[in-house]
Amino acid sequence: MSRVPHPLLVLALVSVFAVGACSSGDSGTATEAVRVVAAVDAVDVLDERTVIDVRTSEEFAAGHVAGAININVEAADFREQIAALDAEDAYLVYCRSGRRSALAADQMAEAGFSDIIDAGGLEALAEAGALIE
């Protein structure tokens, strides 16, 4: 008498093989350059990184993390602006809610940046203790 494997076991095995098949095995890929962290963890490393606010200049002027620079991810020249930065430095990006910071982090990784933290949104950073100016 043969046993039929449990459906969840089959699903788990298929998932493992599917993920493995999608992985190229290359080290240093763009996705490895980006770490998404909780705001409380991001606040702990603000002084160790170049902090980039990727919102509009109007949003930036209304309040931003102390010491942050403003590079609008939706600006036509975003790629040119980040090209002027040292891709070997450590960066932390944030926006209002986390959508634009994810876009910026992905574009920076594609441009060769190797150490990027996506800290999500400004409100969460402020609640976690980030100094806002």
Architecture of domain 27-127: 3-Layer(aba) Sandwich (3.40)
- For each of the chain's 133 residues, which pLDDT tens digit applies? 545 555 444 444 333 333 333 333 344 456 789 999 999 999 999 999 999 999 999 999 999 999 999 999 999 999 999 999 999 999 999 999 999 999 999 999 999 999 999 999 999 999 999 999 9
- The full set of domain ranges for the chain reads 27-127
User: 3-state SS of the chain?
Assistant: CCCCCCHHHHHHHHHHHHHHHHCCCCCCCHHHHEEECCHHHHHHCHHHCEEEECCCHHHHHHCCECCCEECCCCCCCHHHHHHCCCCCCCEEEEECCCHHHHHHHHHHHHCCCCCEEEEEEHHHHHHCCCCEC
Q: Which of 95, 104, 116, 130 is catalytic?
A: 95
- Check if 22 is active-site: no
